[in-house]
Amino acid sequence: MIHKLLQPEGWLPPKGYANGVAARGTTLFVGGQIGWNAQQQFESDDFIDQCGLALRNIAEVLRAGGAGPEHMVRMTWYVTDRDEYSSRLAELGPVYRDAMGRNFPAMTCVQVAALVEHRAKVEIEVTAVIPD
Protein backbone atom coordinates (compact mmCIF):
# COMPACT_ATOMS: atom_id res chain seq x y z
CA MET A 1 0.00 0.00 0.00
CA ILE A 2 1.37 3.40 -1.02
CA HIS A 3 -0.41 5.39 1.69
CA LYS A 4 -1.60 4.50 5.16
CA LEU A 5 -5.36 4.37 5.60
CA LEU A 6 -6.56 5.75 8.91
CA GLN A 7 -9.26 3.65 10.54
CA PRO A 8 -10.04 4.43 14.20
CA GLU A 9 -10.30 1.37 16.42
CA GLY A 10 -13.85 0.17 16.89
CA TRP A 11 -15.27 2.09 13.90
CA LEU A 12 -17.17 0.23 11.22
CA PRO A 13 -15.20 0.32 7.97
CA PRO A 14 -16.50 2.80 5.40
CA LYS A 15 -17.74 1.54 2.04
CA GLY A 16 -16.15 3.08 -1.02
CA TYR A 17 -13.93 5.61 0.75
CA ALA A 18 -11.42 5.97 3.60
CA ASN A 19 -11.95 7.86 6.85
CA GLY A 20 -8.47 9.28 6.52
CA VAL A 21 -5.19 8.81 4.68
CA ALA A 22 -1.61 9.53 5.75
CA ALA A 23 0.90 10.23 2.97
CA ARG A 24 4.30 11.79 2.36
CA GLY A 25 5.75 12.97 -0.96
CA THR A 26 4.98 15.23 -3.91
CA THR A 27 1.44 16.59 -3.73
CA LEU A 28 -0.72 16.98 -6.84
CA PHE A 29 -3.91 19.03 -6.81
CA VAL A 30 -6.43 18.19 -9.50
CA GLY A 31 -8.91 20.98 -10.14
CA GLY A 32 -12.58 20.13 -10.37
CA GLN A 33 -13.25 17.88 -13.33
CA ILE A 34 -16.66 17.62 -14.93
CA GLY A 35 -18.24 15.19 -17.34
CA TRP A 36 -17.11 16.66 -20.62
CA ASN A 37 -14.48 15.52 -23.08
CA ALA A 38 -11.04 16.95 -23.92
CA GLN A 39 -12.70 19.45 -26.29
CA GLN A 40 -14.88 20.67 -23.40
CA GLN A 41 -18.03 19.23 -24.95
CA PHE A 42 -20.68 17.29 -23.10
CA GLU A 43 -21.41 13.89 -24.62
CA SER A 44 -24.34 13.14 -22.31
CA ASP A 45 -26.67 14.70 -19.76
CA ASP A 46 -26.88 11.42 -17.83
CA PHE A 47 -25.47 11.61 -14.30
CA ILE A 48 -23.60 8.29 -14.46
CA ASP A 49 -22.12 9.07 -17.89
CA GLN A 50 -20.91 12.43 -16.59
CA CYS A 51 -19.41 10.81 -13.49
CA GLY A 52 -17.53 8.31 -15.63
CA LEU A 53 -16.07 10.98 -17.85
CA ALA A 54 -15.16 13.22 -14.92
CA LEU A 55 -13.35 10.29 -13.27
CA ARG A 56 -11.50 9.43 -16.48
CA ASN A 57 -10.53 13.11 -16.80
CA ILE A 58 -9.08 12.96 -13.28
CA ALA A 59 -7.08 9.85 -14.19
CA GLU A 60 -5.68 11.70 -17.23
CA VAL A 61 -4.64 14.71 -15.16
CA LEU A 62 -3.01 12.41 -12.61
CA ARG A 63 -1.08 10.66 -15.40
CA ALA A 64 0.07 14.04 -16.69
CA GLY A 65 1.59 14.60 -13.24
CA GLY A 66 3.27 11.20 -13.10
CA ALA A 67 0.65 9.72 -10.78
CA GLY A 68 -2.28 7.37 -10.94
CA PRO A 69 -5.48 6.68 -9.02
CA GLU A 70 -3.46 4.73 -6.45
CA HIS A 71 -1.88 8.03 -5.36
CA MET A 72 -5.20 9.73 -4.49
CA VAL A 73 -5.56 10.74 -0.85
CA ARG A 74 -8.58 13.05 -1.02
CA MET A 75 -11.58 13.36 -3.31
CA THR A 76 -14.41 15.90 -3.14
CA TRP A 77 -17.58 15.43 -5.16
CA TYR A 78 -19.97 18.29 -5.87
CA VAL A 79 -23.33 17.05 -7.16
CA THR A 80 -26.39 19.01 -8.17
CA ASP A 81 -28.78 16.28 -6.96
CA ARG A 82 -27.86 14.23 -3.90
CA ASP A 83 -30.94 12.05 -4.32
CA GLU A 84 -29.80 11.01 -7.79
CA TYR A 85 -26.29 10.36 -6.44
CA SER A 86 -27.66 8.19 -3.61
CA SER A 87 -30.20 6.32 -5.72
CA ARG A 88 -27.65 5.48 -8.43
CA LEU A 89 -24.76 4.28 -6.25
CA ALA A 90 -25.13 0.71 -7.55
CA GLU A 91 -24.56 2.01 -11.09
CA LEU A 92 -21.82 4.38 -10.00
CA GLY A 93 -19.68 1.72 -8.29
CA PRO A 94 -18.60 -0.13 -11.46
CA VAL A 95 -18.02 3.16 -13.30
CA TYR A 96 -15.83 4.38 -10.45
CA ARG A 97 -13.82 1.13 -10.31
CA ASP A 98 -13.37 1.15 -14.09
CA ALA A 99 -11.70 4.58 -13.93
CA MET A 100 -10.08 4.48 -10.47
CA GLY A 101 -9.62 0.80 -9.69
CA ARG A 102 -10.01 -0.18 -6.07
CA ASN A 103 -8.49 3.04 -4.78
CA PHE A 104 -10.72 4.68 -2.21
CA PRO A 105 -9.31 7.93 -0.75
CA ALA A 106 -10.83 10.06 1.98
CA MET A 107 -13.93 11.43 0.32
CA THR A 108 -16.58 14.09 0.76
CA CYS A 109 -19.73 14.57 -1.30
CA VAL A 110 -21.84 17.71 -1.14
CA GLN A 111 -24.90 18.92 -2.98
CA VAL A 112 -24.60 22.33 -4.59
CA ALA A 113 -27.27 24.54 -6.13
CA ALA A 114 -25.44 24.63 -9.46
CA LEU A 115 -22.05 24.26 -11.10
CA VAL A 116 -20.38 26.85 -13.32
CA GLU A 117 -20.99 24.80 -16.47
CA HIS A 118 -24.75 24.76 -16.85
CA ARG A 119 -25.02 21.15 -18.11
CA ALA A 120 -22.67 19.71 -15.49
CA LYS A 121 -24.27 17.44 -12.90
CA VAL A 122 -21.07 16.55 -11.05
CA GLU A 123 -17.67 18.11 -10.43
CA ILE A 124 -14.89 16.17 -8.70
CA GLU A 125 -11.57 17.41 -7.34
CA VAL A 126 -8.71 15.27 -6.10
CA THR A 127 -5.54 15.57 -4.07
CA ALA A 128 -2.88 12.95 -4.72
CA VAL A 129 0.54 12.28 -3.22
CA ILE A 130 3.39 10.56 -5.03
CA PRO A 131 5.59 8.99 -2.32
CA ASP A 132 9.19 10.16 -1.90
pLDDT digits (tens, 9 = 90+) for 83-119: 999 999 999 999 999 999 999 999 999 999 999 999 9
Tens of pLDDT, residue by residue over 15-53, are 889 999 999 999 999 999 999 999 999 999 999 999 999
Q: Is 42 exposed, middle or buried (0-12, 13-18, 19+ CB in 10 A)?
A: middle
**What secondary structure does DSSP assign to 69-114, as a single string?**
GGGEEEEEEEES-HHHHHHTHHHHHHHHHHHH-S---EEEEEE-S-
